[in-house]
Amino acid sequence: MFENLTDKIESAFSFFNKITRLDEKQADEGLRKIRQALLESDVALSVTKKFIEDVKPKIIGQEVLKSVTPGQMIIKIVNDELIKVLGSEKSELNLGNVPPIKILVVGLQGSGKTTSTAKLAHFLQKKLSKKVLMTSLDIYRPAAQQQLQVLGNDNDIKTLPIVEGQLPVEISKRALNAVSLSGEDVVIFDTAGRTQIDQQMMMELKQLENEIQPHEIVLVADSLTGQDAVNIAQEFQKTVNLSSIILTRIDGDGKGGAALSMKAVTGCPIKFLATGEKIDQLEAFHPDRIANRILGMGDVVSLVEKVAEDLEQEKIEKIEEDIKKGSFTFDTYLQQIRQMKKVGGMSGVLSMMPGVSKMKKQIDESNLDESLLNKQEAIILSMTQKERDNPKIIGGSRKKRIANGSGTDISMVNKLLKQHKMMTNVMKKMSKGGRGALQGLDGIPPDLLNNLK
């Protein structure tokens, strides 16, 4: 499964692996290959476009970590973005209500509803120790109810006895009655296959939804139909409240376009993948594992994660070291700003240090936003090394040059210089008392906080 997509993405990565420095032109060329790989794998155009738009600034803005290559960095970025597109978190069936949990299974003809109903029941019984009753509401296709009954008998799953001549709504009432007497935890309703253009059949589904009031409406969609599977999901959503998707025939799907587009286009999470005809060929859908399967790069991803973690730790330790020594140059401040942007602003950094909860609260309340950090970063980058080490030498003409270079104005530069001076004083105060003083510090001095705004 996903072999085609994997091959194509790998060739894009081999391009990135050859380069040593990332500039916009090279990023564009590599991204063009990824875009092509996604489109050729039937990923929806809108999803592909958004994917590339989201990845691009991350690739260009990224400082390449030492001990990994640009190619490895990009694999990690693409991996994270894939997980996002696939739905970020593992979604589970909504089983938390008072039993019986009612699950309605819907979908096109031949998509794999009956097989998936039995697989789901088997999964619930075996993995979650639930007692399950299966009920077929397919009175239209000859022997459809018997098909489910046979699957039940073969796999020790209870099915509602078949009574010829009953309508779907009547059968569903009988099933609900039966579970209220025999106490199953879950009742799964298999329905007849229908096309979205068959108005009458779609109306029947609405009626069943009203009657049964299911906790879950599961759409079974054939991943081999690619884009169509996604369109079908959107059509079904117009009639009933879909809450989950099972993608079937993943075993034959080399492209994976449906899997990649489904969540982003419909907003409805994929909860299971069906990977064959057998009863146990159903897997819970884990976006991170799927991304790993598509990229085949799990090792690289964990390597980059590890290196990034070590580096963050190194940086934090360096900042703490500087604070202890009472030295606080603009280089340290620049590091700190970058750190802040990464971990969610100033309060993110402070939350990593012990005993500064009061400061964190003050900063949260003062609404310091990222645009301010960006401006400050630009100002520091416009300083010479001498100026960063010794800000006292920054007089009128230097200020003008720095303001021009950073696209800010002199008052912003003044503000930053003043802030740096105040922070240096705070750091000195803290360093006198060693690290313990950081904990004893009673919040940020109000004049410093005001200046930050």
Ligand X SMILES: Nc1nc2c(ncn2[C@@H]2O[C@H](COP(=O)(O)OP(=O)(O)OP(=O)(O)O)[C@@H](O)[C@H]2O)c(=O)[nH]1
Can residue 144 be called a binding residue for ligand X (CB under 6 A)? yes
Can residue 136 be called a binding residue for ligand X (CB under 6 A)? no
Can residue 146 be called a binding residue for ligand X (CB under 6 A)? no
Which of 108, 412 has the CB closer to ligand X? 108
DSSP 322-346: HHHHT---HHHHHHHHHHHHHTTHH
Q: Which of 243, 245, 170, 165 is nearest to 204 (CA)?
A: 170
Can residue 251 be called a binding residue for ligand X (CB under 6 A)? yes
Which run of H or E residues covers position 220? Answer: strand 216-222
Q: CB under 6 A: which stretch of 34-42, 272-280, 329-337, 417-425 binds ligand X?
A: 272-280
Number of residues lying near Mg ion (CB under 5 A): 2
The minimum distance between CB 144 and Mg ion, in angstroms, equals 5
Local structure of 253: helix, strand or coil: coil
Distances (CA, A) of 211 to 173, 174, 268, 409: 8, 12, 23, 67
Can residue 228 be called a binding residue for ligand X (CB under 6 A)? no
Which of 14, 153 has the CB closer to Mg ion? 153
The minimum distance between CB 112 and ligand X, in angstroms, equals 3
Which of 3, 29 has the CB closer to ligand X? 3
The minimum distance between CB 277 and ligand X, in angstroms, equals 4
Measured distance CA(370)–CA(452) in Å, rounded = 12
251 binds, among Mg ion, ligand X, none (CB under 5 to 8 A by kind): ligand X
Write the binding mask 176 to 205 for ligand X: x where contact by CB under 6 A, - elsewhere: -----------------x------------
Q: CB under 5 A: which stretch of 107-115, 153-161, 172-180, 424-432 binds Mg ion?
A: 107-115
Can residue 29 be called a binding residue for ligand X (CB under 6 A)? no
The minimum distance between CB 148 and Mg ion, in angstroms, equals 7
One-letter amino acid of 215: H
Which of 143, 410 has the CB closer to ligand X? 143
Token representation of residue 365: 């309340």
DSSP 224-243: GGTHHHHHHHHHHHHHS---
Which of 41, 223 has the CB closer to ligand X? 223
Can residue 283 be called a binding residue for ligand X (CB under 6 A)? no
Buried b (16+ CB within 10 A) or exposed e, 86-120: bbeeebebeeeeebbbbbbbbbbeebbbbbbbbbb
DSSP 95: -
Can residue 109 be called a binding residue for ligand X (CB under 6 A)? yes
Contacts of 450 (CB under 8 A, 6+ apart): none
Alpha helices, DSSP H, located in 62-167: 70-86, 113-128, 144-154
Binding site for ligand X (CB under 6 A): 107, 109-115, 138, 141, 144, 193, 248-249, 251-252, 274-277
